């Protein structure tokens, strides 16, 4: 069903409502439509409209009878009914019995109140269904009225206004340069005494002096401290080497005491 | 011809607004037109154009504060195309759309309360996708439910200048049919309680017990 | 209004032709319009419409026997609007611009060799779009790569009389701009530079670390 076709049938004025009613003579046709109802309230609304009176004046008792009657016959025809239809049937049966009770025996909320609530809900649903039909019947864009088929279109050309300043430019160049300068590690010359020079110096001095000498005396007397440390290390290694070659002998009387050195006499 | 021109020749601003709206691919607010034309006040030009096109095959209309040209509705039979661009809505979607339009902003639970059935998620999705319904925030109540409202596209599609043009909305409001059932129930009960003899208004949703009185 | 209507009110055929052409997605021949409207003779209606729209913001025109509405040619400029977005040059683009400025003319491969990183094509495009860099021919080497140079707009934008005004390597070193910088510090400086950019003069924007030296 399209909204166009269905509009007059489903959403006609209350007075000339005949869409479903015309099918009511054929029970089978009606029941087969049970799937088409949007729930029990929807079915109730259509039943109510078949009373052909203002929704404010429908007879709830008659409506209840109609609903329960349909549900019972649908069950007799072994049509599967959704649970909410059955719940509504049970509730309506209860409502009917309450409505028939003398007023003073009714519980709170009263049956009249429940019936009124149902009626109000039906009115609201009915109003919205009519409103929907009237909306759909309007001149609709793309169906009844049309916008321009080939609009030229409004173009907004975006233009970028780029911003950059002198400092950013120069700084960027500096950073490129700094980043890409080849990295070379230069170790600055340090004052050292190599092992070769220490060997030469120690053996020469041993040849001159015949007595024990402390190793400190082999170091260059006026050198700065860094050179003296280098010279001490080299001279010590030179002393060990000379001892290994049998050209010198070493003596140390106490641990960490002065290291003494003299030439081996041959 | 020369006489007509002398009387009816549009000025530059009118021509500019006319051309802009003809060329536009979507309806435009007066503000957008003004911005596009460098800040001119276009309201008078719009009114003049709308008057000029009255009775022609093309009309200038305002829908939800946006303006666009469209063909005259009475020519629909000439222009309908084989391929319809209009979405076919299910009955459920149609009802939901009407409920949103007449009650907005409205939560899904409120829609379901009116329809008496659960609304499949797809039903609202169809309306959102069509661009007729939008999410309009959340209601500041427990659970903070999402609330829905209609869009300018909805107004344009159904040819409504604003929601005030919704068919029958004034009558429905006056009849209390846009109020929640609870409010109407309370009002009706109070009325009945106050005085059964008092003439019950046509809009009160009179209960069964007072059918005769209200009739 | 009533006078105008009496004179100018279009008849139904004119309205139908007007609406048909308005809604058409492509220009239509008179025959096609006629067929669409059930065989009516539309030539007079077309002529009448063309006359009616003369001088308006929209015109009915015939091109190669096909009719269509179009906005008036003199209003074409209204259908386009320029918007300027102020955008800050990215760091990569700034580096490329600086390299072009210091080394011009220079090919993209040479720019990449100097930067030590690949340069996205878009980066050079941005500089071309900004009007600061131009294509300066091709280098006569194998592959004939395009070479780039700066433009007079570049000099104007950066307030330079000529490229000789760019600080030399020695000056950059004196300003501390050639010192290797930790990445984080570099980024921080770039940020500070960005924040201060408007106020920073040619001589005052030295990085934090070398303020004393450059002062």
Q: ipTM of this predicted complex?
A: 0.65
Closest to A49 in 3D by CA, of A39, A40, A59: A59
Shortest distance, CA A226 to any CA of chain C (angstroms): 31
**CATH class held by domain B91-200:** mainly alpha
* Residues contacting residue B40 through CB under 8 Å, at least 6 positions apart: B13, B16, B34
pLDDT bin (cut points 50, 70, 90) of residue A105 is low
Closest to A235 in 3D by CA, of A250, A209, A216, A254: A216
Confidence at residue A21, expressed as pLDDT on a 0 to 100 scale:
38
A144 interfacial to chain C (CB closer than 8 Å) = no
Do residue B19 and residue C55 have CB atoms under 8 angstroms apart? no
Of residues B9, B14, B72, nearest to C15 (C-beta): B72
pLDDT digits (tens, 9 = 90+) for A8-56: 333 333 333 333 333 344 455 455 455 567 888 888 888 888 887 788 7
Closest residue in chain A to residue C128, using alpha carbons only: A162
Interface of C with A in 163-202 (CB under 8 A): 166-167, 169, 172, 175, 177-181, 186, 189-190, 193-194, 197-198, 200, 202
Average pLDDT score over residue span A180-186:
68
Q: Does the N-terminal peptide bond of residue A109 adopt cis geometry, omega within 30 degrees of 0? A: yes
Query: What's the mean pLDDT when you consider all of chain A?
Result: 78
Confidence at residue C94, expressed as pLDDT on a 0 to 100 scale:
92
Residues of C in contact with A155 (CB under 8 A): 79-81
Confidence at residue A112, expressed as pLDDT on a 0 to 100 scale:
83
Do residue B56 and residue C20 have CB atoms under 8 angstroms apart? no
Do residue B159 and residue A42 have CB atoms under 8 angstroms apart? no
Let me know: does C52 contact C8? Beta carbons within 8 Å.
yes
Average pLDDT score over residue span C148-152:
91
pLDDT digits (tens, 9 = 90+) for B9-24: 788 999 999 999 999 9
Of residues C17, C19, C51, nearest to B1 (C-beta): C51
Average pLDDT score over residue span A109-116:
84
For chain C, residues classed under CATH 1.10.10.10 are: 9-73, 91-200
Is C4's pLDDT higher than 70? Answer: no
Tell me the two tokens of residue B111: 């829609």
Shortest distance, CA C126 to any CA of chain A (angstroms): 8
Distances (CA, A) of B14 to A156, B77, B164, C74, C76: 21, 31, 28, 14, 15
Number of B to C CB contacts under 8 A, please give it. Answer: 82
Percent of the residues in chain C that have a pLDDT greater than 90, as a whole number: 32
A152 interfacial to chain C (CB closer than 8 Å) = yes
Confidence at residue C186, expressed as pLDDT on a 0 to 100 scale:
54
Q: Is pLDDT larger for residue B183 or for residue B2?
A: B183
What does the DSSP assignment read for B172-201? HHHTTTTS-HHHHHHHHHHHHHH-SSSPPP
Interface of C with A in 34-63 (CB under 8 A): none
Confidence at residue B98, expressed as pLDDT on a 0 to 100 scale:
96
Of residues C5, C36, C58, nearest to B19 (C-beta): C58
Is C78's pLDDT higher than 90? Answer: no
Confidence at residue B102, expressed as pLDDT on a 0 to 100 scale:
96
Shortest distance, CA A185 to any CA of chain C (angstroms): 14
Confidence at residue C212, expressed as pLDDT on a 0 to 100 scale:
35
Confidence at residue A184, expressed as pLDDT on a 0 to 100 scale:
66
Confidence at residue A59, expressed as pLDDT on a 0 to 100 scale:
85
Is A4's pLDDT higher than 60? Answer: no
A139 interfacial to chain C (CB closer than 8 Å) = no
Chains in contact with C, where contact means 3 or more Cβ–Cβ distances below 8 Å, are: A, B
Confidence at residue B137, expressed as pLDDT on a 0 to 100 scale:
92
Average pLDDT score over residue span B127-143:
92
Rounded to the nearest 5 degrees, what angle is found at the Cα of B22, between the Cα atoms of B17 and B25? 115
Residues of B in contact with A123 (CB under 8 A): 177, 205
Which residue(s) pair with C83 in the sheet?
Answer: A158
A143 interfacial to chain C (CB closer than 8 Å) = no
Q: Is pLDDT larger for residue A12 or for residue B56?
A: B56
DSSP H or E run through A216: none
Fold of B9-73: Arc Repressor Mutant, subunit A (1.10.10)
pLDDT bin (cut points 50, 70, 90) of residue A76 is confident
Distances (CA, A) of A153 to A82, B19, B24, C62, C183: 53, 10, 5, 20, 48
Residues of C in contact with A146 (CB under 8 A): 19, 22-23
C16 interfacial to chain A (CB closer than 8 Å) = no
Residues of C in contact with B7 (CB under 8 A): 4
Chain B residues whose C-beta sits inside 8 Å of any chain C C-beta: 1, 3-5, 7-10, 14-20, 22-23, 36-37, 51, 55-58, 69, 71-72, 75, 78-79
Shortest distance, CA A26 to any CA of chain B (angstroms): 24
pLDDT bin (cut points 50, 70, 90) of residue B5 is very low
Q: What are phi and psi of C208, to 5 degrees?
A: -55, -45
């Amino acid at each position: 069903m399209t909204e166009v076709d269905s509009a007059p049938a489903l959403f006609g004025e209350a007075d000339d409502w005949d869409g479903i009613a015309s099918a009511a003579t054929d029970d089978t046709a009606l029941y087969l439509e049970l799937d088409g109802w949007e729930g029990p309230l929807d079915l109730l609304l259509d039943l109510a409209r078949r009373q052909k009176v203002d929704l404010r004046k429908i007879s709830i008792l008659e409506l209840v009878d109609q609903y329960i009657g349909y549900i019972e016959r649908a069950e007799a025809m072994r049509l599967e009914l959704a649970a909410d239809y059955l719940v509504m049937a049970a509730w309506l049966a209860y409502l009917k019995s309450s409505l028939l009770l003398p007023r003073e025996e009714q519980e709170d909320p009263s049956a009249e109140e429940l019936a009124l609530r149902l009626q109000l809900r039906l009115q609201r649903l009915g109003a919205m269904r009519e409103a929907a039909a009237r909306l759909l019947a309007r001149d609709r864009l793309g169906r009844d009225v049309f916008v321009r088929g080939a609009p030229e279109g409004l173009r907004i050309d975006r233009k970028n206004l780029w911003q950059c300043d002198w400092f950013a430019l120069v700084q960027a160049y500096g950073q490129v340069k700094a980043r890409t300068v080849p990295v070379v590690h230069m170790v600055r010359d340090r004052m050292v005494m190599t092992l070769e020079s220490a060997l030469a110096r120690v053996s020469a001095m041993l040849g001159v002096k015949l007595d024990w000498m402390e190793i400190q005396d082999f170091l260059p007397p006026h050198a700065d401290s860094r050179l003296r440390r280098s010279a001490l290390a080299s001279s010590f290694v030179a002393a060990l080497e000379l001892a290994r070659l049998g050209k010198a002998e070493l003596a140390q009387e106490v641990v960490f005491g002065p290291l003494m050195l003299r030439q081996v006499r041959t | 011809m020369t006489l007509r021109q002398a009387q009816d020749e549009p000025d530059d601003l009118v021509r500019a607004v006319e051309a802009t709206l003809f060329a536009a691919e979507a309806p435009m607010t007066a503000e957008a037109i003004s911005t596009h034309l460098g800040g001119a006040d276009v309201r008078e030009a719009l009114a003049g154009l709308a008057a000029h096109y009255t009775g022609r095959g093309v009309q200038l209309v305002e829908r939800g504060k946006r303006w666009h040209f469209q063909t005259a509705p009475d020519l629909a039979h000439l222009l309908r195309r084989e391929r319809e661009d209009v979405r076919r809505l299910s009955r459920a979607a149609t009802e939901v759309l009407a409920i949103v339009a007449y009650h907005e902003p409205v939560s899904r639970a409120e829609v379901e309360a009116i329809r008496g059935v659960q609304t499949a998620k797809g039903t609202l999705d169809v309306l959102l996708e069509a661009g007729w319904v939008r999410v309009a925030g959340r209601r500041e109540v427990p659970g903070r439910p999402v609330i829905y409202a209609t869009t300018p596209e909805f107004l344009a599609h159904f040819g409504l200048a604003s929601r005030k043009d919704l068919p029958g909305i004034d009558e429905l409001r006056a009849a209390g049919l846009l109020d929640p059932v609870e409010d109407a129930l309370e009002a009706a009960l109070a009325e009945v309680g106050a005085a059964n003899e008092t003439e019950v208004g046509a809009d009160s949703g009179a209960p069964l017990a007072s059918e005769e009185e209200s009739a």
